[in-house]
Amino acid sequence: MMKKWILMVAFVLGTIPALAQSVVYDQTSSNGVRTLICEGINLGVVGDTDVNVGLAGFNYDGTVLYSLAVVVGSGSSVTIPAGSKCVLTLANGKQYELESVSGGTAVLQNMDVQMDRVYQSYQRFAYYNIKKSMLKKLKKGIARIEFQMQPRSYAASFDADSLGALLLNSREVIDTTFGK
C-alpha cells in the first residue's frame, strides 16, 4: 500500500511542471493543420540578438509532429537563413543536427509570447524538426544548443538543464492537448 502512495506522489509531482507549462499560440490553418506552441525561454542576448526557444506541435489528421520554434529579437540585424540548422549537444556529448522545416523561415501572425514579445518579422522565426524519439533523449540533459544565423551563428551552453526540462514538459502539454 505504501508503494502505491509513493508512486502516486511521484507521478503527481512529475506532472506539476507539465501542467504549469502555458500555450502561447494555438491556431488551425485553412488546410486543417493545428499548430500549438508552448511557452519558451529566452536563451540570452549576445550582442543585440535576443533568442527565444519553445516547442511547437503540429496536428494534421491525427498525426503529431514536433519542432523547435526559434525566434530572434525583432530589433536585431541577425536573421535565420532558409535551410539553417540547429545542433543540440546532450550532456553525454552526443550531438544531433536538426534541420529547419522546408521553406525555412515563417511568419507568425500573432504570438502572445512569454517568449518576450510579439515577433512578426520574416526570417526572424523558424521551426526546426525534432522527432519524438529525439525528445525522449533530452532526459539526459542539453549541454549546448547552436543555431546557424546570419551574419553570425548563435550558441548557448547550459549548466542546469532548464531547456531540456522545458521541452519535455511542453511535449506532455502538446500530447495532452492533441489527445495523444
For the chain, the domains span 2-177
For 51-69, write each residue's pLDDT tens digit: 888 999 999 988 999 999 8
74 half-sphere exposure, CB direction, 13 A CA radius: 11
Distance CA 137, CA 171 (A): 13
In which band, very low, low, confident or very high, does the pLDDT at 75 lie, cut at 50, 70 and 90? low
Distance CA 35, CA 6 (A): 36
For 3-34, write each residue's pLDDT tens digit: 333 333 333 333 334 345 688 888 888 888 89
Amino acid 98: pLDDT? 94
- All residues at 6 or more sequence positions from 7 whose CB lies less than 8 Å from its CB, including other chains: none
In which band, very low, low, confident or very high, does the pLDDT at 108 lie, cut at 50, 70 and 90? very low
3-class secondary structure per residue, 86-136: EEEEECCCCEEEEEEEEEEECCCCCCCCCCCCCCCCCCCEEEEEECHHHHH
Helices 2-20 and 162-177: angle between axes, nearest 10 degrees: 90
Nearest to 143 by CA among 163, 120, 129: 163
Distance CA 137, CA 142 (A): 9
Cβ 125 vs Cβ 105: under 8 Å? yes
Distance CA 48, CA 28 (A): 33
